Structure 1
């Protein structure tokens, strides 16, 4: 798309993240860059970033106090890179002090710390669940062995009783 000027952030973002068909409609002016209902993004994440831009403006360095959006957009599933000024890559992450970078406000640091604590707790719970599952399996094996032993003992006692009854002669009176 030729603008005759530098493209805006929105125009550039849309050319990068919209489906081919949607870019064509945009080029033909069938839809507007503000028409969220008809803009078809390649991924949900890119749609959320675009929506976040609409809500909070182009300066995202203030890290808006919207943890749900940040969780989906910046720390979403399958994210392999760090967000600058956030997370374990930030030297000030664990201390809770503000980063020297133009990164995030303390509310986002707190959110990241909370998310880290929740991941740690989840890992501990998963380990505990795995240990309990192993204990249950071991208990099932033990109970099955005990049941088999009891059945064998009952069979043996029955056999012994039958032999005894065959060979037993009541005393004559």
Structure 2
């Protein structure tokens, strides 16, 4: 849903509406539905978001994402791209541990690693941008060693087990990239977490649109039936009026013949 809110916000900004840089204004954005979303449906969605409770939860979520996901040294590039770049530079496949060090270790630490002063297993000497990233790295390496006897491999299940709080949202150290590729170097059956979420949102909107289309078709079918019934009634009334006209003509004709007959009788009687 965040993509739709951003799309609406961009439309409102293009229309020179005043929207906060770090938030939304749903009273204004309700007038700017994203492409493919019916106006009335979008207004109902904006009403559900335009509450203090939702804004509070949204603010907490933003802060959590800043603390948990965004504090790294990788810049705006996805972690999958960092892995590809590392493999291109080194000319070989790299492990997830190298990707973690490249994107979460401090600049000084990476220099010492490149100069050979320390190595990836010098846990006490490694410096990371956050305590969480160091704890995650060290725990991951130790679990690999306990499970496989070395740290020269990757295991997505091990990394996921270290971050159960990320279930249902972006995985720490992976972001919106394909977690299977970032961790193992091979793509999964799904393109990415972000794509999957966008697909889910799109399917929900499409389902709502399908319901509205069916409802519109039902209304149109009832209206068409009403029009057909009204046309039948009109035809029936025309037929009845025609029958009444024919009956009146017959009666006038009968009356005229009777009147002519009586006049002839009267004239004949008068001559006698």
Larger radius of gyration: 2
Tell me which protein shows more helix as a share of its residues.
2
| TM-score after normalising by structure 2 | 0.28
